[in-house]
């Protein structure tokens, strides 16, 4: 398998002098194409910071992030936007759809932003069918339930066939039954499309067996599950 | 062919989603949309109302001066009197197809007295105008202002302006009036006239403060046979006034004629109005600027209310310029709707003013016109101002960092 993501000695430091906070401290990791990876850790450990770095929503203070072999730290703002559009998909905790658009339009949006649209509508419809929302396509995004919104977000995250789909607490705002559905959907889509998923979660047990778990503790990244962290979750 | 289709398709898709998003975001905030559109509409309406009233008033005064006194061209002479025959000048003008009529007039001032109810009433320094009854009605509409009786029709008939009649103790049609004019050698010439009519013009630009008699009678009294003070020339097509004036002066190179268009001859009377209208227009444009500030405020609120959406769009790949364009599109939509509604409302008001023959101070009928150049200029200015007003909020929207915006998500 080829490496889809390589993070080399990435740090993120906020503030200066006495108020300096190291949110991420020399984190290094690599993820193979098609893997489902969980990032776990306690609140404030640096999980979301790491996800923001991988998602190119924020720039690291030091280190390199390579996606599909491209050093993203050298890209300018416009190139980063295009890169995010083509190579990355996003699923957020809540309110992640544009309320002014329909379900179908939300799924189509990344493709429209990218400017390539020949087969987009058919693909969007297929994806919505795959996530079980073919009958909700023309509803306004704010007229569907939280679980349905997350399924739309999954479809939107997949529309551009990105290298990585990043999910930040995708079940954080859902009840346990809906959470289970969303987790299973993401895992099945990952398997079906051979799609890399990187998921930040507090909800470790719901995800069961995954390809890799990365634990963030005090800004440092560890591959594998730390027993101490598991105790916290339990 | 395929490539053209592809490029067009790409262009439509590329622009379309931003336009759709701009429209949806705006139309889903109906209060803000209505507020912004109203701001533009009111700005335009103020300018239209100002234009109808003040430009209408200005044009009405120009119309009345032209219709009653100066015509489209006023011919005078460096020396106060023109000694060329009426016939030659009038004929020269009337052979030109777009000349409606030309008429001579002679001006003087007089003392008048009359006995009313056994009481002698005297008035001095009353402007007196001699007219040719047959030619005057072709070149002027002042005869239409005679509200009682008839216009001058004989050598001994006199038409009194309503204010002159009032000053003479309420002179009426049929009354006998003694008129004194000092002739060219300084001797008093007195004649008795019968009042044939009372003139009262709407707006008072006519002969309300003047007395009118037959031009030949006045010439006799003044001892100036054949002399004329001015020729009033009325055209079917006033836009040709300048051209005809030049032609006239070239045709009489050896005379000391002065020929002026209405703009030139009435300049003194109109100068004050011109600056007044300019000031009122400025106030209108300041109103439009206030509308732009209202749009700016409303759009800032829209941007602040869409922080999350901006963050989501940036996260899924929208560039700063995409965000900029979305909010500029909103400014364009506000500007377009506002300009459309404002112009429609303004035209509606203009139509109403024209159809109802709106008058100033219940007397002077406004000269209401559709000035399409001004209407289009106003609409385009407000549209442009709406876009300019949206630039700063749009720029602010692009400055939102995705990671900051996403904190709210």
- What share of chain A has pLDDT > 90, as a percent? 42
The three state secondary structure string of B34-94 is HHHHHHHHHHHHHHHHHHHHHHHHHHHHHHHHHHHHHCCEEEEECCCCECCCHHHHHHHHH
- Evaluate whether residue A55 is within a structural domain: yes
pLDDT at A229 over 60: no
Average pLDDT over residues B53-81: 90
- Evaluate whether residue A134 is within a structural domain: no
pLDDT level of residue B106 (50, 70, 90 thresholds): very high
pLDDT tens, position by position, B229-262: 999 999 999 999 999 999 999 999 988 899 999 9
Which residues, 6+ apart, have CB-to-CB distance to A17 below 8 Å?
Answer: none
Q: Using CA of residue B366, residue B368, residue B374, residue B380, what is the dihedral sign?
A: positive
pLDDT at A105 over 70: yes
Count of A-B CB contacts under 8 Å: 83
- Chain A residues closer than 8 Å to B320 by CB: 77-78, 81
If asked whether residues B50 and B88 sit together in one domain, one would say no
Number of domains in chain B: 2
pLDDT at B92: 95
If asked whether residues B141 and B188 sit together in one domain, one would say yes
CB contact under 8 A, B317 and A97: no
pLDDT at A232: 40
- Evaluate whether residue B9 is within a structural domain: no
Start-to-end Cα distance in chain B: 45
Average pLDDT over residues A81-103: 88
Domain containing residue B239: 79-255
- Rounded to the nearest 5 degrees, what angle is found at the Cα of A126, between the Cα atoms of A125 and A132? 90
Please state the length of chain A.
234
pLDDT at B265: 87
DSSP B13-41: HHHHHHHHHHHHHHHTSHHHHHHHHHHHH
- Interface predicted TM-score (ipTM): 0.88
pLDDT at A110 over 70: yes
Distance (Å, whole) CA B110 – CA B374: 46
If asked whether residues B279 and B368 sit together in one domain, one would say yes
- Chain A residues closer than 8 Å to B10 by CB: 115, 117
- Evaluate whether residue A187 is within a structural domain: yes
pLDDT at B15: 59
CB contact under 8 A, B24 and A101: yes
CB contact under 8 A, B28 and A101: no
If asked whether residues B108 and B216 sit together in one domain, one would say yes
pLDDT at A233: 38
- Chain A residues closer than 8 Å to B314 by CB: 81
If asked whether residues B100 and B226 sit together in one domain, one would say yes
pLDDT at B409: 46
Q: Among the three residues B255, B287, B316, which one is the final residue of a domain in this structure?
A: B255
- Evaluate whether residue A117 is within a structural domain: no
CB contact under 8 A, A77 and B409: no
- Evaluate whether residue A12 is within a structural domain: yes
Residue with tokens 């992640």: A96
Residue B261 and residue B232 in contact, taking contact as beta carbons nearer than 8 Å: no
From chain A residues 131-150, the ones with a CB under 8 A of any chain B CB are: none
pLDDT tens, position by position, B265-277: 888 878 888 888 8
Which residues, 6+ apart, have CB-to-CB distance to B256 below 8 Å?
Answer: B77, B78, B79
- Evaluate whether residue B387 is within a structural domain: yes
If asked whether residues B28 and B132 sit together in one domain, one would say no
pLDDT at B39 over 50: yes
If asked whether residues B105 and B249 sit together in one domain, one would say yes
Distance (Å, whole) CA B156 – CA B154: 5
Burial (CB count <10 Å: 0-12, 13-18, 19+), residue B119? exposed
Number of domains in chain A: 1
If asked whether residues B202 and B163 sit together in one domain, one would say yes
pLDDT level of residue B9 (50, 70, 90 thresholds): low
pLDDT tens, position by position, B153-180: 899 999 999 999 999 988 999 999 999 9
- Evaluate whether residue A121 is within a structural domain: no
pLDDT at A97 over 50: yes
Residue in A with minimal Cα distance to B23: A100
pLDDT at A230 over 50: no
If asked whether residues B209 and B327 sit together in one domain, one would say no
Distance (Å, whole) CA A111 – CA A161: 10
Average pLDDT over residues A93-106: 85
pLDDT at A180 over 80: yes
pLDDT tens, position by position, B309-343: 888 899 999 999 999 999 999 999 999 999 999 99
pLDDT at B10 over 90: no
If asked whether residues B184 and B324 sit together in one domain, one would say no
The Cα of A132 is separated from the nearest Cα of chain B by a number of Å equal to 22
pLDDT level of residue B78 (50, 70, 90 thresholds): confident
Pairing of the two strands B257-261 and B73-77: antiparallel
If asked whether residues B154 and B204 sit together in one domain, one would say yes
User: What is the residue-averaged pLDDT of chain A?
Assistant: 87
- Chain A residues closer than 8 Å to B15 by CB: none
pLDDT tens, position by position, B365-399: 898 989 999 999 999 999 999 999 999 999 999 98
State the CATH number of the domain containing residue A92: 3.40.50.300
CB contact under 8 A, B9 and A84: no
Average pLDDT over residues B54-62: 88
Q: Among the three residues B224, B255, B286, which one is the final residue of a domain in this structure?
A: B255
pLDDT at A231: 41
Domain containing residue A180: 3-96+164-233
Average pLDDT over residues A31-43: 90
Residue with tokens 């996003």: A90
- Evaluate whether residue A125 is within a structural domain: no
Distance (Å, whole) CA B292 – CA B66: 40
Taking any CB pair shorter than 8 Å as contact, residues of chain B touching chain A are: 9-10, 13-14, 16-17, 20-21, 24-25, 28, 308-309, 312-322, 401-403, 406, 408-409
- Evaluate whether residue A148 is within a structural domain: no
If asked whether residues B153 and B119 sit together in one domain, one would say yes
pLDDT at B266: 86
- Chain B residues closer than 8 Å to A112 by CB: 13-14, 16-17
Residue A37 and residue A200 in contact, taking contact as beta carbons nearer than 8 Å: no
Which residues, 6+ apart, have CB-to-CB distance to A151 below 8 Å?
Answer: A131, A132, A133, A182, A185
Distance (Å, whole) CA B166 – CA B161: 9
């Amino acid at each position: 398998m080829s490496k889809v993501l390589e993070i080399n000695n990435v740090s993120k430091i906020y503030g200066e002098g006495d108020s300096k906070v190291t949110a991420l401290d020399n984190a290094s990791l690599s993820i193979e194409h098609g893997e489902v990876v969980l990032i776990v850790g306690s609140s404030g450990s640096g999980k979301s910071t790491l996800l923001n770095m991988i998602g190119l929503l924020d720039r690291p203070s030091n280190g390199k992030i390579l996606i599909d072999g491209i050093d993203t730290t050298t890209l300018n703002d416009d190139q980063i936007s295009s890169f995010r559009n083509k190579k990355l998909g996003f699923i957020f905790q809540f309110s992640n759809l544009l309320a002014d658009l329909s379900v179908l339009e939300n799924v189509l949006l990344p493709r429209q932003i990218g400017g390539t649209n020949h087969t987009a509508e058919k693909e969007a419809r297929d994806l919505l069918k795959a996530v079980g929302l073919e009958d909700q396509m023309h509803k306004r995004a704010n007229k569907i339930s939280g679980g349905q919104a997350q399924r739309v977000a999954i479809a939107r995250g997949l529309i551009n066939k990105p290298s990585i789909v990043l999910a930040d607490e995708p079940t954080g705002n859902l009840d346990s039954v809906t959470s289970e559905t969303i987790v299973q959907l993401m895992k099945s889509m990952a398997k079906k499309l051979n799609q890399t998923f990187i998921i930040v979660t507090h909800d470790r047990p719901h995800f069961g067996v995954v390809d890799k778990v990365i634990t963030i503790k005090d800004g440092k990244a560890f591959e594998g599950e730390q027993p101490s962290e598991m105790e916290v979750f339990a | 062919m395929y490539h053209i289709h592809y490029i067009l398709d790409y262009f439509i898709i590329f622009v379309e989603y931003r336009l759709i998003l701009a429209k949806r975001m705006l139309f889903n905030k109906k209060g803000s949309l209505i507020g912004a559109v109203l701001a533009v509409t009111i700005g335009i309406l103020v300018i239209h109302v100002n234009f109808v009233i003040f430009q209408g008033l200005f044009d009405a005064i120009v119309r009345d001066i032209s219709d009653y006194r100066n015509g489209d061209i006023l011919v005078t002479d460096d020396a106060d009197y023109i000694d060329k025959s009426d016939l030659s000048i009038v004929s020269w003008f009337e052979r030109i197809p777009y000349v409606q009529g030309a008429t001579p007039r002679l001006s003087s001032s007089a003392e008048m007295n009359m006995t009313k109810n056994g009481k002698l009433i005297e008035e001095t320094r009353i402007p007196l105008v001699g007219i040719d009854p047959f030619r005057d009605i072709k070149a002027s509409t002042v005869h239409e202002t005679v509200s009682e009786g008839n216009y001058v029709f004989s050598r001994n008939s006199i038409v009194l302006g309503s204010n002159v009649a009032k000053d003479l103790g309420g002179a009426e049609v049929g009354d006998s009036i003694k008129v004194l004019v000092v002739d060219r050698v300084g001797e008093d010439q007195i004649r008795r006239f019968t009042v044939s009519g009372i003139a009262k013009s709407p707006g008072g630009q006519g002969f309300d403060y003047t007395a009118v008699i037959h031009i030949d009678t006045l010439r006799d009294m003044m001892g100036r046979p054949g002399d004329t003070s001015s020729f009033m020339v009325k055209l079917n097509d006033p836009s040709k006034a300048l051209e005809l004036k030049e032609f006239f002066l070239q045709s009489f190179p050896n005379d000391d004629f002065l020929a002026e268009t209405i703009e030139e001859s009435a300049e003194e009377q109109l100068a004050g109005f011109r600056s007044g209208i300019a000031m009122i227009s400025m106030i209108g444009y300041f109103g439009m600027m206030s509308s732009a500030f209202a749009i700016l405020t409303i759009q800032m609120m829209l941007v602040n209310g869409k922080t999350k959406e901006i963050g989501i769009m940036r996260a899924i790949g929208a560039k700063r310029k995409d965000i900029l364009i979305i909010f500029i599109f909103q400014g364009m939509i506000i500007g377009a709707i506002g300009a459309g509604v404002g112009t429609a409302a303004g035209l509606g008001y203009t139509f109403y003013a024209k159809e109802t023959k709106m008058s100033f101070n219940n007397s002077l009928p406004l000269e209401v016109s559709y000035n399409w150049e001004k209407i289009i200029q106003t609409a385009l200015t407000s549209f442009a101002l709406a876009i300019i007003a949206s630039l700063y909020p749009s720029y602010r929207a692009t400055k939102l960092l995705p990671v900051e915006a996403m904190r709210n998500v």
